[in-house]
Structure 1
Amino acid sequence: MSTSSAHAGFDARGALRAALRAVQTESGLPVAFGAFVEGSTAVLSEFRGTRTNNLHSLEVRAGSGLGGRVIAENRPAAVNDYRTADTITHEYDTWVLSEGLASIAAAPVMVRDRLAGLIYVATRDRNALGDRSKSAILSAGRRLSTELTVQDEVRRRMRDAEVVATVAPEHVRDVASLEEIRALHAELRAVAQLISDAGLSQRIADLSKRLAHVGTGTAAASGTVVRLSAREVDVLAQIALGCTNQEAATRLSIKPETAKAYLRGAMRKLDAHTRFEAVVRARALRLIP
């Protein structure tokens, strides 16, 4: 996954910066920095607490230095005195020591069982890094891994949905194709609940509307205007797949009673007396595919 391709349109660097702020706060250590990994090389790109630019854009290769050890072994590592550590190689001493760093820990960031990045935390004192520091970097690494995995999944779903959304409604002829569109629409709205980027959320909302139009070849009822909230559409899209309130709630990461309330609101606006009737009317109005 590349920050220039796989993360296009996503704030991967912002997620990394947030992780560095968190690990710096939670560890109490003055320096934190990170990198994305391409193949077997990491390029240091985000920094907090550094005094120079010496580490900026430094390429760390697998097996070389502390970060290279983490890349090669896919597990956290630490040294209490970088200058004298005999558990790592010393190709990067000039850059690390010119920044005045001594005790350093590094942890991998995984996305779908693949190394995607590194997080470092450091101090200029030659002291053993305590449990607080090690716990902080592991926690930050896991959170960043989750964020990047979600971004990767949203990107995949949006790519598939954008392809489907180019299909003209009249060309959707078989039931299997229509059900695939409906499933993709519901999944996209469900995974959108896991992201916080407002711009990306709007892109997903716009794309889901395009899918709703692909899903039906009939025009919206003349003169009929029904405005459902985004959450009401989210729940109705799950119900349209045959989900129970509990299942819809699980997919959308909300409480069952909340899902039930949104469904009631949608039914009231659609003047529907049953779940099935609500789905039929929402489809006729092109609110869902």
Structure 2
Amino acid sequence: MDTAFEVRTHAGTERATEHGARFERLLGEHAHVLNLLDGTAALRGLAKRIRDVCGAHIGLAGPVEGDRLLVLRQWNGTWATGLHDLNVPTGLGLGGLALAEQRPVWVADYCRSDLITHDFDVPISADGIRTMLAVPMMRGGQVHGVVYAAMRAITDFSGRELDAAVDLADGGALALETAAAARRQREHAAAAERRRIAAELHDSVGAQLFRIGAELRDLRALAGGTALVERLLSLEEQLAETASAFRESVHALDHDRVDDGLTATLSRHCAEFQRRTGTTAQAVQVGAVPECDPHRERVLVAAAREALLNVEKHAGADSVLVSVIALEDGIAVSVADDGAGWDGVDDGGGIGLRSTADRLAQLGGTLSVVSNEDGGVTVRIRVPLP
């Protein structure tokens, strides 16, 4: 019969194992989110994982850059450097063929194959590559990049390995698309911050320069000595040059104007939330999102702001992620936090959220508040498009 001590020890071991497994899942989810926001990290992970899923000697991954030009930006398992950062135009080699035909292609013996052009035989041979697979990263009918698995022996790929490679490439396409959207959002946010700084400089420093110039002119009018007048005139000229350089700097800060969209607006509100609370907040657009009319956009933004306010008041969160996603019939915005839950707010029962839900309902939209399995709360906001 087990003693009480042995039972407690066994239970403690089970809890430790469960906590360890949960921690591993959280690490995996964290890495996945990072990959979604960082195209370079996503490609690096693809180059490694394609080796794992296909049992390959070499993994390569690259995005489509410029005018349908594939560039091999990440590699894993290579001997030589000839394939590093290699430019592959559409139609050339194996990857160029996959890019042109938008389908997976593979050859059993690369340098002897009649299926492909042989523009890259030298770097391929330098790495001892024989059998090679190239899978385009497709999403929404667009190729975002290509991922390769290569063997240093003549072999083939099983159906299971091919399916796994395609699934991996599909995930890579989502990661590259999301990373590009995140980059655009950062650019929008940077442009908005430059405009804010320009406005503050114009209102503060610009006004001070004007006042100093006016005072110098008054002093010159009152000065009686020739030497003093000349000195004041020199200072005026220097001030005029400084003011001119200042105006040019303000113009440079302010010239890059961009049309604000839903995600860019939410990014600014996340930045304000982060400055106000110290809680990390970021807005991410997942995939291409259709434009909506100004009224729907205002209602979506107001709903997201109300959700952020509830996170600030109730959650005690360390981070918040605002996601914008296209639906078949509309747009969805989710506000997810990693806090301890919302005390006092039950299924969206707060006054602010109820009012927000009513405004969404007028547009045929919905709002729901759900608890996350690993802690925190997610507010799901949806509006249909006409």
Interval containing the TM-score (normalised by the shorter chain): 0.5 to 0.7
**Partner in structure 2 of residue 24 of structure 1:** 51
**Partner in structure 2 of residue 34 of structure 1:** 61
The 2-side partners of 1:161 and 1:274 are apart by 21
Amino acid at match of 1:228: A
Spell out the pairing of 1:61-72 with structure 2 (5 A cutoff). 61-72=89-100
The 1-side partners of 2:348 and 2:114 are apart by 70
Higher relative contact order (CA 8 A, sep 6+): 1
Q: Is contact 1:266–1:278 with CA below 8 Å preserved after alignment? A: no
The 2-side partners of 1:49 and 1:166 are apart by 40
SS across alignment from 2:112? coil
Q: Is contact 1:112–1:149 with CA below 8 Å preserved after alignment? A: no
The 2-side partners of 1:18 and 1:42 are apart by 18
The 1-side partners of 2:83 and 2:315 are apart by 51
CA deviation after TM superposition for structure 1 residue 281, in Å: 11
Amino acid at match of 1:267: G
Aligned mate of 1:181, from 301, 305, 309: 301
Aligned mate of 1:54, from 71, 78, 82: 82
The 2-side partners of 1:233 and 1:96 are apart by 45
**Partner in structure 2 of residue 275 of structure 1:** 349
5+ residue gaps in structure 1?
1-8, 168-173, 190-207, 213-224, 236-247, 255-260, 283-287
User: Is 2:315 aligned against 1:228?
Assistant: yes
CA deviation after TM superposition for structure 1 residue 126, in Å: 1.3
CA deviation after TM superposition for structure 1 residue 31, in Å: 0.8
SS across alignment from 1:36? strand
User: Is 2:146 aligned against 1:118?
Assistant: yes
The 1-side partners of 2:107 and 2:38 are apart by 31
Amino acid at match of 1:10: L
Q: Report how many residues are paired.
A: 212
CA deviation after TM superposition for structure 1 residue 110, in Å: 2.3
The 1-side partners of 2:348 and 2:163 are apart by 51
Distance 1:19 1:136, change over 3 A: same
CA deviation after TM superposition for structure 1 residue 95, in Å: 1.2
CA deviation after TM superposition for structure 1 residue 49, in Å: 0.7
Deviates more, 1:104-113 or 1:78-87: 104-113
Q: Is contact 1:106–1:119 with CA below 8 Å preserved after alignment? A: yes
Distance 1:125 1:227, change over 3 A: same
Question: Which has the higher Rg, Structure 1 or Structure 2?
Answer: 2
The 2-side partners of 1:49 and 1:79 are apart by 19
CA deviation after TM superposition for structure 1 residue 18, in Å: 1.4
User: Is 2:137 aligned against 1:87?
Assistant: no
The 1-side partners of 2:163 and 2:335 are apart by 30
Deviations 1:105-156 (A, max 9, x none): 0001124432111100000101223324322321210121232334345555
Deviations 1:132-183 (A, max 9, x none): 432232121012123233434555564242467899xxxxxx9877524224
User: Is 2:27 aligned against 1:12?
Assistant: no
The 2-side partners of 1:68 and 1:274 are apart by 51
CA RMSD between the two structures: 4.2
- TM-score relative to the length of structure 1: 0.60
The 1-side partners of 2:347 and 2:105 are apart by 60
**Higher-strand-fraction structure:** 2
Aligned mate of 1:108, from 130, 136, 152: 136
Amino acid at match of 2:57: P
Distance 1:31 1:185, change over 3 A: farther
5+ residue gaps in structure 2?
1-35, 186-261, 273-293, 323-331, 357-378, 380-386
